[in-house]
Structure 1
Amino acid sequence: MPLRHTALAVLVAVLWGLNFLAIHASLTHFPPLFLVALRFAIIAIPTVLLVPRPQVPARWLIGHGLGFGTLQFLFLYLGMNAGFPTGLASLVLQASAPFTVVLGAVLLRERLGARAIVGVAVATAGLAVVGLSYGAAAPAGPFLLVLLGALGWALGNLASRQARAPRPLHLVLWMSVVPPLPMFALSLAVEGPSAIGDAAATSLTAAAVPAWIGLAYTVLLGTLVGSGIWVWLMARHPAGRVAPFSMLVPVVGIATAWLALGERPAALELAGGALVVGGVLWASTPARARATARIVPADPAPAADPLPAPRPAPALRR
């Protein structure tokens, strides 16, 4: 990739890594389920008014919205609200990559090569190390909630893969139409009108400013700018060249949480994180020999289809 495009890929990883700090700030004021609904409602309203609906079957649009938008952030926000460390959340969410590979094999009958199997096994071992290390000093519930969020992301990946949207960014925007209504209903049922009313009544106070800044960052920079640049890059370069940059997300997430929040991951958690990142990179990057074999000098292969085309890399977006 040109240096400018490499810099853009790094920028997206930084934006998505910082997104976890923004979520943390928003959760200090808004109840988690209500926050998910509010986040996507802010995107959904202008999307319905201004953006053409993507030409994909409704079932895959809804499936992407339920998996990537609803389940991922429902469990991620619940886990972080229950006390799971912000930096570690950025790491555990990368479990979506091995989940996507395994679910693709089980549900879509995609063939698993030896490289993918080894990568999934290494990443799974890393997650087990992180979970055991965290669970030794804290309840395992928040860790499992974030892990369920990664599973939701993986289900959304499969739906977006089946959608094969001609304009992937339109799919990214329109999937935001799915979460608000069910999440508002769930928030009313679980968190109750009192908690929602208290958050709304105090939302214009000085104490709520960090929460609104975090929400604005998540919507504008984390979702619209980050996803927009990522889709643009994936449309111009093979997925194997762009996707590995997403492995910088947990590096940024852990480092910034360390600096801003004083979260210091244990040595075992860092070791497990290295296994997760290494396993996902190994599984998502084609072997050099196989990549070279595809090159035909007289007719160079075109860039990979834009996300979420038939075989996108599983680790994507924040």
Structure 2
Amino acid sequence: MAFLGVLAFSGSMPATVFAIRGFDPWLVAIGRAVIAGFIAIICLKAARQPLLPPRSQWPAYALIILGVVLGFPVFSSLALGLGASTAHSAVIVGLLPAATAICAVLRAGERPRPLFWAACTAGAAAITAFTLIQHQGTPSWPDLLLLGALVSAAIGYTEGGRLAKHTPGWQVISYALVLSLPLTIPVTTALSFTTPITLTWDAVAGFAYVSVISMFVGFIPWYAGLAKGGIARAGQTQLTQPLMTIAWAWLLLGERFGALTVVAALAVLVCVAVTQRART
């Protein structure tokens, strides 16, 4: 389940690159939550579920909103808009499993074994070294924005995984999206009238992907996987996401990679296998 979510998320960066070719990065980041929010309302109505969660859970949903509804989309869209390449941006995804595991320890009370932490560290180091060697990245504003995206996603994933233990994953992301609409609708409306828009097929397709798949559909199996497998352990499946993202960038954007990708892929797969065997 977690891997299905990762597969859906792996196309987010290339799709965002396509989207910002025709839309302002702020509009892409905020507008996707509006489209996904209306889909969430339709799903909740069809399932005859309330449109809002219990008030006692609103603080947790506020963290999800700040993390994955607003934080990650805004930071990543701005970083890509400032020229960060898709493959370089994949560095943050390589570090996400480690950051999510730390949040799980602090927030969800999980206590992974030392073997888990060793494999997690090795996997994060391998994928980070791979992306940095490939693109010779140096600290810059895009890097700081990507760091903000990393922290935001880790917090949102942890809170969503906690709530998904008692609430179906699709309802968790639906409630977060609906609760964010009073903010995202007026901001999106203002941006629609004040920023330039160029309607092209690739821009519209990219916007549709990040709105429907990245912002809604992908979270359904992702949160379910975190709830069933443990936030820290299931979250390690995301170590495969950078390589999938780079593969999509090669197929869709023409970015190239060499034989080092094969070595990094094998290293990541080994680390994921070890983390899956290390019970929390």
Letter in 2 for 1:114: P
Provide the C-alpha distance between the structure 2 equivalents of 1:9 and 1:128, rounded to a whole number of angstroms: 21
CA contact (8 A) 1:63 1:159 kept: yes
Partner AA of 1:116 in structure 2: F
Letter in 1 for 2:171: H
- Which letter does structure 1 place at the counterpart of 2:26? L
Q: 1:277 to 1:66 in 2, by over 3 A?
A: farther
Task: Name the counterpart of 1:43.
Answer: 36
In 2, distance between residues paired with 1:94 and 1:196?
36
Give 1:21-170 correspondences, 5 Å limit. 21-48=14-41, 51=44, 52=50, 53-55=52-54, 57-126=57-126, 128-130=128-130, 132-133=132-133, 136=136, 140-163=140-163, 164-170=165-171
Residue 244 of structure 2: aligned partner = 252
Gaps spanning 5+ residues in structure 2: where? Answer: 45-49
3-state SS in 1 of match to 2:10: helix
Contact 1:82 1:142 in 2 (8 A): yes
Q: What is the correspondence of 1:163-312 to structure 2 with a 5 Å cutoff?
A: 163=163, 164-179=165-180, 197-199=194-196, 202-203=197-198, 205=199, 208-230=200-222, 246-265=238-257, 278-279=270-271, 281-283=273-275, 285-287=276-278
Q: What code does the residue aligned with 2:167 have?
A: P
Counterpart contact for 2:84–2:142, Cα < 8 Å: yes
CA offset digits 1:99-135 (Å, max 9, x no partner): 1212333445532421222023213423552575367
Q: Compared with structure 1, are the counterparts of its residues 243 and 76 closer, same or farther at alpha carbon in structure 2 (3 Å cutoff)?
A: same
> Which runs of 5 or more residues in structure 1 are unaligned?
1-7, 291-310, 312-318
Q: CA deviation at 1:170?
A: 0.8
The DSSP-based 3-state class of the residue aligned with 2:18 is helix
Segment of structure 1 superposing worse, 130-139 or 16-25? 130-139
2:91 touches 2:131 (CA, 8 Å); kept in 1?
Answer: no
State the Cα deviation string for residues 223-249 of structure 1 (Å, max 9, x = none).
4443345567778x7569976654443
Residues 177 and 243 (structure 1), Cα distance of their counterparts in 2 relative to 1, 3 Å cut: same
User: What is the deviation of 1:194?
Assistant: 8.4
Task: Assess, with a 3 A threshold, how the Cα gap between structure 1 residues 165 and 72 changes in structure 2: closer, same or farther.
Answer: farther
Partners of 1:218 and 1:194 in 2: CA distance = 17
> How far 1:25 moved relative to its partner?
0.6
Q: Structure 2 vs 1, CA of residues 25 and 162 (structure 1 numbering), >3 Å: closer, same or farther? A: same
Q: Counterpart of 1:119 in 2: which secondary structure?
A: helix
How far apart in 1 are the matches of 2:264 and 2:118?
Answer: 16
Match of 2:47 in 1: none
| 2: CA distance, partners of 1:227 / 1:178 | 16
For the pair shown, the structure with the greater C-alpha radius of gyration is: 1
Count matched residues.
271
TM-score, normalized by length of structure 2?
0.75
Match of 1:211, SS state, is helix
Residues 178-208 of structure 1 deviation map (CA, whole Å, 9 limit, x = unaligned): 55555678889xxxx7896242xx45x4xx3
Deviation of the 1:270 alpha carbon: 7.5
**More displaced 10-residue stretch of structure 1: 161-170 or 260-269:** 260-269
Secondary structure of residue in 1 paired with 2:11? helix
2-structure distance, mates of 1:74, 1:177? 18
RMSD over aligned CA atoms reads 3.8
Kindly state the Cα deviation for residue 260 of structure 1 after the two structures are TM-superposed: 2.4
Amino acid at match of 1:168: G
Structure 1's 162 and 217: CA in aligned 2 closer, same or farther, altered over 3 A? closer
**Contact 1:123-1:280 at 8 Å conserved across structures:** yes
In the alignment, is the contact (CA less than 8 A) between 2:124 and 2:239 conserved in 1?
no
Superposition deviation, residue 211 in structure 1: 1.5
Contact 1:78 1:145 in 2 (8 A): yes
TM (norm. structure 1) is: 0.68
The structure in which a higher percent of residues are helix is: 2
Structure-2 residue corresponding to 1:4: none
